[in-house]
Structure 1
Protein backbone atom coordinates (compact mmCIF):
# COMPACT_ATOMS: atom_id res chain seq x y z
CA UNK A 1 0.00 0.00 0.00
CA UNK A 2 1.37 3.40 -1.01
CA UNK A 3 1.70 5.86 1.89
CA UNK A 4 0.95 9.47 0.95
CA UNK A 5 1.04 12.46 3.34
CA UNK A 6 -1.29 15.39 2.74
CA UNK A 7 -1.69 18.62 4.69
CA UNK A 8 -4.38 21.27 5.01
CA UNK A 9 -6.03 23.64 7.43
CA UNK A 10 -8.54 22.02 9.84
CA UNK A 11 -11.44 24.01 8.42
CA UNK A 12 -14.77 23.33 6.73
CA UNK A 13 -13.26 23.74 3.25
CA UNK A 14 -11.48 20.42 3.75
CA UNK A 15 -14.38 18.35 5.07
CA UNK A 16 -14.55 16.47 1.75
CA UNK A 17 -11.11 15.01 2.47
CA UNK A 18 -12.25 13.82 5.88
CA UNK A 19 -15.34 12.17 4.39
CA UNK A 20 -13.38 10.30 1.71
CA UNK A 21 -10.84 9.16 4.31
CA UNK A 22 -13.58 8.05 6.70
CA UNK A 23 -15.17 6.04 3.90
CA UNK A 24 -11.89 4.24 3.18
CA UNK A 25 -11.94 5.30 -0.46
CA UNK A 26 -8.16 5.65 -0.82
CA UNK A 27 -7.43 2.35 0.94
CA UNK A 28 -9.76 0.66 -1.52
CA UNK A 29 -7.29 1.84 -4.20
CA UNK A 30 -4.25 0.61 -2.20
CA UNK A 31 -3.33 4.13 -1.05
CA UNK A 32 -2.68 4.92 2.62
CA UNK A 33 -3.48 8.65 2.58
CA UNK A 34 -2.55 10.30 5.87
CA UNK A 35 -4.08 13.70 6.61
CA UNK A 36 -2.10 16.25 8.68
CA UNK A 37 -3.76 19.34 10.16
CA UNK A 38 -1.71 22.50 9.68
CA UNK A 39 -2.93 25.01 12.25
CA UNK A 40 -0.17 27.41 11.17
CA UNK A 41 -1.68 27.65 7.69
CA UNK A 42 0.03 28.24 4.37
CA UNK A 43 3.52 29.21 5.54
CA UNK A 44 3.66 26.07 7.65
CA UNK A 45 2.52 23.89 4.73
CA UNK A 46 5.09 25.44 2.38
CA UNK A 47 7.75 24.38 4.88
CA UNK A 48 6.19 20.89 5.03
CA UNK A 49 6.37 20.53 1.26
CA UNK A 50 9.95 21.77 1.15
CA UNK A 51 11.26 19.34 3.73
CA UNK A 52 9.14 16.38 2.63
CA UNK A 53 6.87 16.11 5.69
CA UNK A 54 3.93 16.16 3.26
CA UNK A 55 3.65 15.19 -0.39
CA UNK A 56 0.46 17.16 -1.12
CA UNK A 57 -0.94 20.40 0.30
CA UNK A 58 -4.38 22.00 0.03
CA UNK A 59 -3.06 25.50 0.20
CA UNK A 60 -3.81 29.17 -0.43
CA UNK A 61 -3.15 30.13 -4.04
CA UNK A 62 -1.12 33.27 -3.35
CA UNK A 63 1.03 31.59 -0.71
CA UNK A 64 2.15 28.63 -2.79
CA UNK A 65 2.80 30.80 -5.86
CA UNK A 66 5.09 33.01 -3.77
CA UNK A 67 6.91 29.97 -2.36
CA UNK A 68 7.34 28.15 -5.68
CA UNK A 69 8.90 31.32 -7.11
CA UNK A 70 11.14 31.37 -4.00
CA UNK A 71 12.35 27.85 -4.76
CA UNK A 72 9.79 25.42 -3.31
CA UNK A 73 10.18 22.29 -5.51
CA UNK A 74 6.43 21.80 -5.97
CA UNK A 75 3.75 22.43 -8.59
CA UNK A 76 0.06 23.30 -8.60
CA UNK A 77 -1.92 20.39 -10.07
CA UNK A 78 -5.47 21.66 -9.57
CA UNK A 79 -7.71 24.39 -8.21
CA UNK A 80 -9.53 23.08 -5.13
CA UNK A 81 -11.89 25.96 -4.24
CA UNK A 82 -12.82 28.18 -7.18
CA UNK A 83 -14.41 31.04 -5.24
CA UNK A 84 -12.50 33.75 -3.31
CA UNK A 85 -11.74 33.43 0.37
CA UNK A 86 -13.57 36.06 2.39
CA UNK A 87 -11.05 37.38 4.89
CA UNK A 88 -12.56 38.98 7.96
CA UNK A 89 -10.61 41.88 9.47
CA UNK A 90 -10.76 41.41 13.23
CA UNK A 91 -9.84 43.42 16.31
CA UNK A 92 -10.17 42.52 19.98
CA UNK A 93 -13.68 43.08 21.34
CA UNK A 94 -12.39 45.83 23.68
CA UNK A 95 -10.31 47.52 20.94
CA UNK A 96 -10.77 51.24 20.28
CA UNK A 97 -10.68 50.59 16.50
CA UNK A 98 -14.05 50.71 14.76
CA UNK A 99 -13.27 50.82 11.02
CA UNK A 100 -10.64 49.55 8.57
CA UNK A 101 -9.28 53.08 8.28
CA UNK A 102 -8.67 53.15 12.04
CA UNK A 103 -6.11 50.32 11.79
CA UNK A 104 -3.92 52.05 9.18
CA UNK A 105 -0.33 52.00 10.48
CA UNK A 106 -1.09 49.64 13.36
CA UNK A 107 0.25 46.10 13.84
CA UNK A 108 -1.23 43.12 12.00
CA UNK A 109 -1.09 39.69 13.60
CA UNK A 110 0.12 37.11 11.06
CA UNK A 111 0.59 33.36 11.39
CA UNK A 112 4.03 33.62 9.75
CA UNK A 113 5.75 35.53 6.96
CA UNK A 114 4.58 34.25 3.58
CA UNK A 115 1.27 33.09 5.04
CA UNK A 116 -2.14 34.12 3.75
CA UNK A 117 -2.67 36.43 6.72
CA UNK A 118 0.59 38.17 5.81
CA UNK A 119 -0.02 38.45 2.05
CA UNK A 120 -3.66 39.51 2.39
CA UNK A 121 -2.63 42.35 4.70
CA UNK A 122 -0.87 43.80 1.64
CA UNK A 123 -3.93 43.24 -0.55
CA UNK A 124 -6.10 45.01 2.04
CA UNK A 125 -3.60 47.87 2.35
CA UNK A 126 -3.49 48.33 -1.42
CA UNK A 127 -7.29 48.22 -1.62
CA UNK A 128 -7.50 51.04 0.93
CA UNK A 129 -4.70 53.15 -0.64
CA UNK A 130 -2.34 52.78 2.33
CA UNK A 131 1.38 53.42 2.12
CA UNK A 132 2.83 49.91 1.96
CA UNK A 133 6.12 50.96 3.54
CA UNK A 134 4.74 53.01 6.40
CA UNK A 135 1.27 51.61 7.14
CA UNK A 136 2.04 47.88 7.49
CA UNK A 137 3.60 46.36 10.62
CA UNK A 138 3.53 42.70 11.67
CA UNK A 139 3.55 40.48 14.73
CA UNK A 140 3.97 36.72 14.19
CA UNK A 141 1.39 34.82 16.26
CA UNK A 142 1.60 31.31 14.63
CA UNK A 143 -2.11 30.37 14.59
CA UNK A 144 -5.65 31.29 15.56
CA UNK A 145 -5.04 30.66 19.27
CA UNK A 146 -2.01 32.91 19.06
CA UNK A 147 -4.14 35.60 17.44
CA UNK A 148 -6.67 35.46 20.27
CA UNK A 149 -3.85 35.89 22.79
CA UNK A 150 -2.04 38.56 20.74
CA UNK A 151 -5.07 40.76 20.14
CA UNK A 152 -6.40 40.36 23.68
CA UNK A 153 -3.01 41.28 25.19
CA UNK A 154 -2.43 44.14 22.76
CA UNK A 155 0.68 42.58 21.14
CA UNK A 156 -1.06 43.16 17.79
CA UNK A 157 -3.99 45.30 16.71
CA UNK A 158 -5.82 43.40 13.98
CA UNK A 159 -5.95 39.95 12.44
CA UNK A 160 -7.14 38.73 9.04
CA UNK A 161 -8.54 35.19 8.83
CA UNK A 162 -11.33 33.40 7.00
CA UNK A 163 -14.59 35.04 8.03
CA UNK A 164 -16.62 31.94 8.86
CA UNK A 165 -13.82 30.19 10.77
CA UNK A 166 -13.53 33.17 13.10
CA UNK A 167 -17.28 33.81 13.38
CA UNK A 168 -17.63 31.80 16.63
CA UNK A 169 -14.96 34.06 18.19
CA UNK A 170 -16.98 37.09 17.08
CA UNK A 171 -20.18 35.56 18.45
CA UNK A 172 -18.43 34.86 21.78
CA UNK A 173 -17.28 38.47 22.13
CA UNK A 174 -13.55 37.72 21.76
CA UNK A 175 -13.10 39.34 18.34
CA UNK A 176 -15.00 42.12 16.63
CA UNK A 177 -15.07 42.10 12.82
CA UNK A 178 -14.61 45.60 11.38
CA UNK A 179 -14.32 44.74 7.70
CA UNK A 180 -13.88 42.12 4.99
CA UNK A 181 -11.39 41.61 2.17
CA UNK A 182 -12.12 38.87 -0.39
CA UNK A 183 -9.09 37.37 -2.12
CA UNK A 184 -9.10 38.53 -5.78
CA UNK A 185 -8.59 34.97 -7.11
CA UNK A 186 -9.64 31.33 -6.43
CA UNK A 187 -8.62 30.68 -2.85
CA UNK A 188 -7.32 27.10 -2.55
CA UNK A 189 -5.23 24.97 -4.88
CA UNK A 190 -3.70 21.50 -4.58
CA UNK A 191 0.09 21.57 -4.72
CA UNK A 192 2.37 18.53 -4.90
CA UNK A 193 6.11 18.02 -4.48
CA UNK A 194 7.91 17.61 -7.82
CA UNK A 195 9.55 14.38 -6.67
CA UNK A 196 6.19 12.86 -5.79
CA UNK A 197 4.66 13.86 -9.14
CA UNK A 198 7.59 12.34 -10.98
CA UNK A 199 7.39 9.00 -9.21
CA UNK A 200 3.71 8.65 -8.35
CA UNK A 201 1.58 10.27 -11.04
CA UNK A 202 -0.89 7.38 -11.20
CA UNK A 203 -1.45 7.47 -7.43
CA UNK A 204 -1.91 11.23 -7.62
CA UNK A 205 -4.51 10.91 -10.39
CA UNK A 206 -6.40 8.36 -8.31
CA UNK A 207 -6.41 10.64 -5.23
CA UNK A 208 -7.69 13.57 -7.28
CA UNK A 209 -10.37 11.45 -8.96
CA UNK A 210 -11.69 10.42 -5.53
CA UNK A 211 -11.72 13.89 -3.98
CA UNK A 212 -13.16 15.49 -7.12
CA UNK A 213 -16.07 13.07 -7.15
CA UNK A 214 -16.89 14.11 -3.58
CA UNK A 215 -16.52 17.87 -4.12
CA UNK A 216 -18.77 17.68 -7.18
CA UNK A 217 -21.52 16.16 -5.02
CA UNK A 218 -20.62 17.92 -1.76
CA UNK A 219 -23.53 20.35 -1.53
CA UNK A 220 -26.08 17.62 -2.20
CA UNK A 221 -24.87 15.35 0.63
CA UNK A 222 -27.89 14.95 2.96
CA UNK A 223 -27.72 17.32 5.96
CA UNK A 224 -24.21 18.48 5.02
CA UNK A 225 -24.96 21.88 6.56
CA UNK A 226 -25.74 20.26 9.93
CA UNK A 227 -22.66 18.05 9.70
CA UNK A 228 -20.43 21.10 9.15
CA UNK A 229 -22.15 23.12 11.89
CA UNK A 230 -21.64 20.32 14.42
CA UNK A 231 -18.10 19.39 13.43
CA UNK A 232 -16.76 22.97 13.29
CA UNK A 233 -18.96 24.41 16.05
CA UNK A 234 -20.64 26.95 13.82
CA UNK A 235 -24.16 28.32 13.61
CA UNK A 236 -26.32 26.58 11.01
CA UNK A 237 -27.26 29.81 9.22
CA UNK A 238 -23.55 30.77 8.94
CA UNK A 239 -22.78 27.39 7.37
CA UNK A 240 -25.68 27.76 4.95
CA UNK A 241 -24.42 31.20 3.91
CA UNK A 242 -20.89 29.83 3.46
CA UNK A 243 -22.15 26.94 1.32
CA UNK A 244 -24.08 29.36 -0.88
CA UNK A 245 -20.89 31.37 -1.49
CA UNK A 246 -18.45 28.50 -2.03
CA UNK A 247 -17.76 26.53 -5.22
CA UNK A 248 -15.22 23.72 -5.53
CA UNK A 249 -13.25 23.06 -8.69
CA UNK A 250 -11.99 19.93 -10.42
CA UNK A 251 -9.87 21.75 -13.01
CA UNK A 252 -6.30 23.00 -13.31
CA UNK A 253 -5.95 26.72 -12.59
CA UNK A 254 -5.68 28.61 -15.88
CA UNK A 255 -2.84 30.80 -17.11
CA UNK A 256 -4.85 34.04 -17.03
CA UNK A 257 -5.69 33.56 -13.35
CA UNK A 258 -2.09 32.74 -12.44
CA UNK A 259 -0.85 35.79 -14.34
CA UNK A 260 -3.33 37.96 -12.42
CA UNK A 261 -2.08 36.63 -9.07
CA UNK A 262 1.53 37.16 -10.09
CA UNK A 263 0.82 40.67 -11.35
CA UNK A 264 -0.72 41.69 -8.04
CA UNK A 265 1.97 40.03 -5.90
CA UNK A 266 4.72 41.58 -8.04
CA UNK A 267 3.17 45.05 -7.85
CA UNK A 268 3.08 44.72 -4.06
CA UNK A 269 6.76 43.64 -3.98
CA UNK A 270 5.74 40.30 -2.47
CA UNK A 271 7.48 38.35 -5.27
CA UNK A 272 10.76 39.47 -6.90
CA UNK A 273 9.82 38.29 -10.41
CA UNK A 274 7.07 36.70 -12.47
CA UNK A 275 7.58 33.25 -13.96
CA UNK A 276 6.06 31.23 -16.79
CA UNK A 277 2.89 29.17 -16.39
CA UNK A 278 4.81 25.90 -16.74
CA UNK A 279 7.05 26.78 -13.77
CA UNK A 280 4.02 26.90 -11.48
CA UNK A 281 1.76 24.08 -12.69
CA UNK A 282 1.90 20.43 -13.68
CA UNK A 283 -0.81 19.15 -16.01
CA UNK A 284 -1.71 15.55 -15.21
Structure 2
Protein backbone atom coordinates (compact mmCIF):
# COMPACT_ATOMS: atom_id res chain seq x y z
CA UNK A 1 0.00 0.00 0.00
CA UNK A 2 1.39 3.38 -1.04
CA UNK A 3 1.83 5.80 1.88
CA UNK A 4 1.03 9.44 1.06
CA UNK A 5 1.27 12.35 3.52
CA UNK A 6 -1.10 15.30 3.21
CA UNK A 7 -1.35 18.46 5.31
CA UNK A 8 -4.01 21.07 5.94
CA UNK A 9 -5.47 23.38 8.54
CA UNK A 10 -7.72 21.71 11.17
CA UNK A 11 -10.74 23.72 10.01
CA UNK A 12 -14.19 23.12 8.55
CA UNK A 13 -12.93 23.64 4.97
CA UNK A 14 -11.16 20.28 5.21
CA UNK A 15 -14.00 18.17 6.60
CA UNK A 16 -14.38 16.44 3.20
CA UNK A 17 -10.88 14.97 3.63
CA UNK A 18 -11.78 13.69 7.10
CA UNK A 19 -14.97 12.06 5.78
CA UNK A 20 -13.23 10.29 2.88
CA UNK A 21 -10.47 9.09 5.21
CA UNK A 22 -13.00 7.88 7.79
CA UNK A 23 -14.82 5.96 5.05
CA UNK A 24 -11.58 4.21 4.05
CA UNK A 25 -11.95 5.36 0.44
CA UNK A 26 -8.21 5.72 -0.22
CA UNK A 27 -7.37 2.34 1.32
CA UNK A 28 -9.85 0.75 -1.07
CA UNK A 29 -7.56 2.02 -3.84
CA UNK A 30 -4.43 0.74 -2.04
CA UNK A 31 -3.38 4.21 -0.85
CA UNK A 32 -2.52 4.84 2.79
CA UNK A 33 -3.29 8.58 2.92
CA UNK A 34 -2.14 10.09 6.22
CA UNK A 35 -3.58 13.47 7.22
CA UNK A 36 -1.45 15.93 9.22
CA UNK A 37 -2.97 19.00 10.91
CA UNK A 38 -1.08 22.28 10.52
CA UNK A 39 -2.64 24.80 12.93
CA UNK A 40 0.20 27.18 11.99
CA UNK A 41 -1.31 27.41 8.51
CA UNK A 42 0.29 28.10 5.15
CA UNK A 43 3.81 29.02 6.31
CA UNK A 44 4.11 25.77 8.25
CA UNK A 45 2.85 23.74 5.28
CA UNK A 46 5.25 25.43 2.84
CA UNK A 47 8.09 24.38 5.15
CA UNK A 48 6.70 20.84 5.39
CA UNK A 49 6.54 20.53 1.58
CA UNK A 50 10.14 21.75 1.27
CA UNK A 51 11.27 19.31 3.99
CA UNK A 52 9.31 16.43 2.38
CA UNK A 53 7.33 15.94 5.58
CA UNK A 54 4.22 16.00 3.39
CA UNK A 55 3.63 15.22 -0.28
CA UNK A 56 0.42 17.24 -0.69
CA UNK A 57 -0.90 20.40 0.97
CA UNK A 58 -4.35 21.99 1.01
CA UNK A 59 -3.06 25.51 1.21
CA UNK A 60 -3.85 29.18 0.70
CA UNK A 61 -3.50 30.29 -2.92
CA UNK A 62 -1.44 33.41 -2.26
CA UNK A 63 0.89 31.67 0.19
CA UNK A 64 1.87 28.78 -2.06
CA UNK A 65 2.28 31.04 -5.11
CA UNK A 66 4.71 33.17 -3.11
CA UNK A 67 6.61 30.14 -1.85
CA UNK A 68 6.90 28.44 -5.25
CA UNK A 69 8.36 31.68 -6.63
CA UNK A 70 10.71 31.67 -3.61
CA UNK A 71 11.95 28.20 -4.59
CA UNK A 72 9.50 25.66 -3.15
CA UNK A 73 9.70 22.72 -5.61
CA UNK A 74 5.91 22.19 -5.72
CA UNK A 75 3.07 22.89 -8.13
CA UNK A 76 -0.62 23.72 -7.82
CA UNK A 77 -2.62 20.83 -9.30
CA UNK A 78 -6.14 22.00 -8.47
CA UNK A 79 -8.27 24.65 -6.83
CA UNK A 80 -9.90 23.19 -3.70
CA UNK A 81 -12.20 26.02 -2.56
CA UNK A 82 -13.25 28.38 -5.34
CA UNK A 83 -14.72 31.18 -3.23
CA UNK A 84 -12.62 33.83 -1.45
CA UNK A 85 -11.65 33.43 2.19
CA UNK A 86 -13.34 35.96 4.45
CA UNK A 87 -10.71 37.10 6.93
CA UNK A 88 -11.98 38.63 10.15
CA UNK A 89 -9.99 41.51 11.59
CA UNK A 90 -9.79 40.90 15.33
CA UNK A 91 -8.68 42.80 18.43
CA UNK A 92 -8.67 41.77 22.08
CA UNK A 93 -11.95 42.15 23.95
CA UNK A 94 -10.65 45.06 26.07
CA UNK A 95 -8.70 46.73 23.27
CA UNK A 96 -9.22 50.47 22.80
CA UNK A 97 -9.31 49.98 19.00
CA UNK A 98 -12.84 50.27 17.59
CA UNK A 99 -12.37 50.62 13.83
CA UNK A 100 -9.95 49.41 11.16
CA UNK A 101 -8.55 52.94 10.79
CA UNK A 102 -7.56 52.83 14.49
CA UNK A 103 -5.15 49.99 13.62
CA UNK A 104 -3.01 52.06 11.26
CA UNK A 105 0.61 51.86 12.43
CA UNK A 106 -0.08 49.27 15.14
CA UNK A 107 1.23 45.69 15.30
CA UNK A 108 -0.39 42.81 13.41
CA UNK A 109 -0.13 39.31 14.83
CA UNK A 110 0.92 36.86 12.09
CA UNK A 111 1.45 33.11 12.22
CA UNK A 112 4.76 33.52 10.36
CA UNK A 113 6.27 35.63 7.58
CA UNK A 114 4.88 34.52 4.22
CA UNK A 115 1.73 33.13 5.82
CA UNK A 116 -1.82 34.06 4.87
CA UNK A 117 -2.21 36.22 7.97
CA UNK A 118 0.93 38.11 6.94
CA UNK A 119 -0.06 38.58 3.29
CA UNK A 120 -3.63 39.57 4.11
CA UNK A 121 -2.38 42.25 6.52
CA UNK A 122 -0.85 43.84 3.40
CA UNK A 123 -4.13 43.50 1.49
CA UNK A 124 -6.01 45.12 4.36
CA UNK A 125 -3.45 47.95 4.51
CA UNK A 126 -3.75 48.49 0.76
CA UNK A 127 -7.56 48.47 0.96
CA UNK A 128 -7.34 51.28 3.51
CA UNK A 129 -4.66 53.30 1.67
CA UNK A 130 -2.04 52.88 4.39
CA UNK A 131 1.65 53.36 3.75
CA UNK A 132 2.93 49.78 3.40
CA UNK A 133 6.39 50.68 4.69
CA UNK A 134 5.38 52.84 7.66
CA UNK A 135 1.94 51.65 8.77
CA UNK A 136 2.56 47.89 9.03
CA UNK A 137 4.34 46.16 11.91
CA UNK A 138 4.35 42.46 12.72
CA UNK A 139 4.59 40.09 15.66
CA UNK A 140 4.99 36.35 14.91
CA UNK A 141 2.55 34.34 17.08
CA UNK A 142 2.66 30.92 15.28
CA UNK A 143 -1.04 29.99 15.42
CA UNK A 144 -4.50 30.83 16.74
CA UNK A 145 -3.55 29.97 20.33
CA UNK A 146 -0.57 32.29 20.03
CA UNK A 147 -2.86 35.03 18.72
CA UNK A 148 -5.14 34.71 21.74
CA UNK A 149 -2.12 35.09 24.01
CA UNK A 150 -0.54 37.90 21.97
CA UNK A 151 -3.67 40.05 21.67
CA UNK A 152 -4.67 39.47 25.29
CA UNK A 153 -1.28 40.45 26.73
CA UNK A 154 -0.79 43.31 24.25
CA UNK A 155 2.23 41.85 22.41
CA UNK A 156 0.23 42.45 19.22
CA UNK A 157 -2.76 44.66 18.45
CA UNK A 158 -4.81 42.90 15.78
CA UNK A 159 -5.05 39.58 13.98
CA UNK A 160 -6.48 38.45 10.64
CA UNK A 161 -7.86 34.90 10.51
CA UNK A 162 -10.74 33.11 8.79
CA UNK A 163 -13.82 34.65 10.39
CA UNK A 164 -15.86 31.49 10.97
CA UNK A 165 -12.89 29.71 12.61
CA UNK A 166 -12.49 32.60 15.06
CA UNK A 167 -16.24 33.14 15.59
CA UNK A 168 -16.33 31.02 18.80
CA UNK A 169 -13.59 33.30 20.23
CA UNK A 170 -15.68 36.34 19.31
CA UNK A 171 -18.78 34.75 20.84
CA UNK A 172 -17.04 33.98 24.14
CA UNK A 173 -15.56 37.48 24.37
CA UNK A 174 -11.88 36.64 23.80
CA UNK A 175 -11.79 38.69 20.58
CA UNK A 176 -13.82 41.50 19.06
CA UNK A 177 -14.14 41.48 15.28
CA UNK A 178 -14.03 45.03 13.94
CA UNK A 179 -14.11 44.26 10.22
CA UNK A 180 -13.68 41.74 7.41
CA UNK A 181 -11.16 41.45 4.59
CA UNK A 182 -12.05 38.96 1.82
CA UNK A 183 -9.16 37.56 -0.21
CA UNK A 184 -9.22 38.80 -3.84
CA UNK A 185 -8.84 35.22 -5.18
CA UNK A 186 -10.03 31.62 -4.61
CA UNK A 187 -8.86 30.70 -1.14
CA UNK A 188 -7.54 27.12 -1.09
CA UNK A 189 -5.61 25.12 -3.68
CA UNK A 190 -4.05 21.66 -3.64
CA UNK A 191 -0.27 21.80 -4.05
CA UNK A 192 1.99 18.80 -4.56
CA UNK A 193 5.77 18.34 -4.51
CA UNK A 194 7.15 18.06 -8.05
CA UNK A 195 9.04 14.84 -7.33
CA UNK A 196 5.85 13.25 -6.01
CA UNK A 197 3.89 14.30 -9.13
CA UNK A 198 6.58 12.80 -11.37
CA UNK A 199 6.70 9.44 -9.60
CA UNK A 200 3.09 9.01 -8.36
CA UNK A 201 0.82 10.52 -11.00
CA UNK A 202 -1.76 7.70 -10.93
CA UNK A 203 -2.04 7.73 -7.13
CA UNK A 204 -2.42 11.51 -7.19
CA UNK A 205 -5.20 11.30 -9.78
CA UNK A 206 -6.96 8.67 -7.64
CA UNK A 207 -6.74 10.85 -4.52
CA UNK A 208 -8.13 13.87 -6.38
CA UNK A 209 -10.97 11.83 -7.90
CA UNK A 210 -12.02 10.63 -4.45
CA UNK A 211 -11.97 14.07 -2.81
CA UNK A 212 -13.65 15.70 -5.82
CA UNK A 213 -16.52 13.22 -5.74
CA UNK A 214 -17.14 14.25 -2.13
CA UNK A 215 -16.77 18.02 -2.54
CA UNK A 216 -19.01 18.05 -5.64
CA UNK A 217 -21.97 17.01 -3.46
CA UNK A 218 -20.66 18.21 -0.10
CA UNK A 219 -23.60 20.50 0.69
CA UNK A 220 -26.07 17.65 -0.01
CA UNK A 221 -24.60 15.32 2.62
CA UNK A 222 -27.41 14.74 5.17
CA UNK A 223 -27.05 16.96 8.27
CA UNK A 224 -23.66 18.24 7.10
CA UNK A 225 -24.35 21.55 8.87
CA UNK A 226 -24.86 19.79 12.20
CA UNK A 227 -21.75 17.63 11.65
CA UNK A 228 -19.60 20.74 11.06
CA UNK A 229 -21.13 22.61 14.02
CA UNK A 230 -20.43 19.70 16.38
CA UNK A 231 -16.95 18.87 15.13
CA UNK A 232 -15.66 22.46 15.00
CA UNK A 233 -17.67 23.79 17.97
CA UNK A 234 -19.50 26.38 15.90
CA UNK A 235 -23.05 27.69 16.02
CA UNK A 236 -25.41 26.08 13.55
CA UNK A 237 -26.51 29.37 11.98
CA UNK A 238 -22.83 30.38 11.46
CA UNK A 239 -22.16 27.07 9.71
CA UNK A 240 -25.24 27.49 7.53
CA UNK A 241 -24.07 30.99 6.56
CA UNK A 242 -20.60 29.65 5.75
CA UNK A 243 -22.02 26.83 3.61
CA UNK A 244 -24.18 29.32 1.71
CA UNK A 245 -21.15 31.40 0.62
CA UNK A 246 -18.62 28.58 0.03
CA UNK A 247 -18.09 26.72 -3.26
CA UNK A 248 -15.61 23.90 -3.84
CA UNK A 249 -13.79 23.30 -7.10
CA UNK A 250 -12.73 20.19 -8.99
CA UNK A 251 -10.55 21.88 -11.61
CA UNK A 252 -7.17 23.55 -11.99
CA UNK A 253 -6.88 27.24 -11.14
CA UNK A 254 -7.01 29.28 -14.37
CA UNK A 255 -4.32 31.49 -15.91
CA UNK A 256 -6.19 34.73 -15.34
CA UNK A 257 -6.64 34.09 -11.60
CA UNK A 258 -2.98 33.18 -11.16
CA UNK A 259 -1.92 36.34 -12.99
CA UNK A 260 -4.30 38.53 -10.95
CA UNK A 261 -2.95 37.04 -7.71
CA UNK A 262 0.65 37.56 -8.79
CA UNK A 263 0.01 41.16 -9.86
CA UNK A 264 -1.44 41.91 -6.42
CA UNK A 265 1.48 40.25 -4.60
CA UNK A 266 4.01 41.97 -6.86
CA UNK A 267 2.41 45.39 -6.28
CA UNK A 268 2.76 44.80 -2.53
CA UNK A 269 6.44 43.75 -2.91
CA UNK A 270 5.57 40.30 -1.58
CA UNK A 271 6.99 38.54 -4.66
CA UNK A 272 10.05 39.77 -6.65
CA UNK A 273 8.65 38.91 -10.09
CA UNK A 274 5.65 37.58 -12.00
CA UNK A 275 6.37 34.11 -13.36
CA UNK A 276 4.85 31.96 -16.07
CA UNK A 277 1.61 30.08 -15.26
CA UNK A 278 3.29 26.74 -16.03
CA UNK A 279 5.95 27.30 -13.36
CA UNK A 280 3.25 27.45 -10.70
CA UNK A 281 0.76 24.85 -11.92
CA UNK A 282 0.66 21.31 -13.23
CA UNK A 283 -2.24 19.94 -15.29
CA UNK A 284 -2.82 16.26 -14.61
Q: Where on the TM-score scale, by shorter chain, does this alignment land: which range? A: over 0.9
Distance 1:275 1:103 in 2: 33
Q: Distance in 2 between the 1:173 and 1:52 partners?
A: 39
Shift of residue 108, structure 1, vs aligned partner: 0.1
Aligned counterpart, 1:34: 34
Equivalent residue, structure 2, for 1:11: 11
Q: Distance in 2 between matches of 1:128 and 1:206?
A: 44
In structure 1, the partner of 2:64 is: 64
Q: Distance in 2 between matches of 1:12 and 1:179?
A: 21
Deviation (angstroms), 1:37: 0.1
Normalised by the size of structure 2, how large is the TM-score? 1.00
Q: Residues 64-83 of structure 1, C-alpha deviation per residue, up to 9 Å, x if partnerless?
A: 00000000000000000000
Deviation at 1:282, TM superposition (A): 0.4
Q: Give deviations 1:69-110, integer Å, cap 9, x for gaps.
A: 000000000000000000000000000000000000000000
Q: Distance in 1 between matches of 2:134 and 2:188?
A: 30
- Residues in 2 aligned to 1:81 and 1:135: alpha-carbon distance in whole angstroms: 31
Structure 2 residue matching 1:75: 3-state secondary structure: strand
Whole-Å separation in 1 of the counterparts to 2:248 and 2:267: 28
Deviation of 1:272 after TM superposition, in Å, equals 0.4
Q: How does 1:84-123 map to 2 (within 5 A)?
A: 84-123=84-123
Residue equivalent to 1:173: 173
CA drift at 1:139 = 0.1
Unaligned runs of 5+ in 1: none
In the alignment, which residue of structure 2 is the partner of 1:253? 253
Secondary structure of the residue that 1:132 maps to in structure 2? coil
* Structure-2 separation of matches of 1:190 and 1:23: 21
- Tell me what 1:81 maps to: 81
* Other-structure match for 1:145: 145
In 1, Cα distance between equivalents of 2:20 and 2:218: 11
TM-score between both structures, scaled by the size of structure 1: 1.00
Shift of 1:248: 0.1
Find the aligned partners of 1:277 and 1:162 in 2 and give their Cα distance. 27
Question: Where in structure 2 are the equivalents of 1:34-53 lying within 5 Å?
Answer: 34-53=34-53
CA deviation digits over 1:1-27, x for unaligned, max 9? 000000000000000000000000000
Q: What is the aligned-residue RMSD (CA, Å)?
A: 0.2
